[in-house]
Structure 1
């Protein structure tokens, strides 16, 4: 059965969680792994709402921690489906940390998570088309397409490098780098 599509608003999801001391590292900042777990959780909630099915994470792109998150902050993760392919979706997530005591709000990172919908037999299953209702949603869809193209191109170039780089070229490239190459006892 062909689905007529779902709007971006249909699956928009926000999760807010208090950052507690057990989430902190030795420096008193929240572990990046805690934030990654929350990113994965909100991506699943958003993607499964759009797909109407169980979804799995395929990749997490663009995780760059712009500012630290502190114990006591309220962290809100705002997720929306930015792109829908045949069986996959790209969920954009904006992470905001709010210190209620100081009335400060900071954007800590934006991430893009690719999710794939699965059927009852654990096979990829088609997702509804994404209905774009404003310029911002169109821009995000196009940006997701562009990121997908760039990722494909990057992966192709890396594969070419793996297959064509010889040891002499590799050693030349490493000459001014902070590494020590020890091959068969040579330095």
Structure 2
């Protein structure tokens, strides 16, 4: 049996079609890269096709310049029966200087599905290091917070 892959890094060059009206990379392009990395990470962990169930806590820390080399780092920080919480950070740099800086970070929850589109079991991830344990515990706290936010958001649902 192959050991599941817990983390992955995807790299992109920020292209002119990624630009917004302010001349920087559009937030939507960054969110697409995040979703791609979350999928690749979740699929590598679960060995299954995965769908995005939630993306939250997206924090845009710094703009990304067109022409930048962009890295999207993704890693599993919690697993449920069929879900995987993926922590992501986006790092950008000028490819000539390689002066890397954090630009964005967030959490994405992916769900593994079978060939019928039904949720499918995923391998359990067990935290080993102190950092792993902190991130795992934070994922659990965030689940509780999302429940409360979901209840409050019901006012906007028809």
1:121 shift after superposition:
1.3
Determine the C-alpha separation between the residues in 1 that align with 2:138 and 2:54: 16
Partner of 1:178: none
The verdict on how the C-alpha distance between 1:32 and 1:158 changes in structure 2, with shifts beyond 3 A counting, is closer
Partner of 2:44: 49
1:116 aligns with 2:111: yes
The structure in which a higher percent of residues are strand is 2
Task: Give the TM-score normalised by the residue count of structure 1.
Answer: 0.78
1:103 shift after superposition:
4.1
1:77 aligns with 2:72: yes
1:133 shift after superposition:
1.9
Give runs of aligned pairs for residues 18-167 of structure 1, distance below 5 A: 18-159=13-154, 162=155
1:86 shift after superposition:
0.8
Cα deviation 1:140-179 (Å, max 9, x = unaligned): 11100000001112222444xx39xxxxxxxxxxxxxxxx
Mind listing any 5+ residue stretches in structure 1 that lack a counterpart? 164-187
Cα deviation 1:98-150 (Å, max 9, x = unaligned): 11334422101111001100011110011110022211111111100000001
Determine the C-alpha separation between the residues in 1 that align with 2:74 and 2:150: 26
Mind listing any 5+ residue stretches in structure 2 that lack a counterpart? none
Determine the C-alpha separation between the residues in 2 that align with 1:22 and 1:101: 21
The verdict on how the C-alpha distance between 1:29 and 1:136 changes in structure 2, with shifts beyond 3 A counting, is same
1:64 shift after superposition:
1.7
Task: Give the TM-score normalised by the residue count of structure 2.
Answer: 0.91
1:13 aligns with 2:8: yes
1:60 shift after superposition:
0.5
1:27 shift after superposition:
1.8
1:22 shift after superposition:
1.5
Runs (4+) off by over 6 Å = none
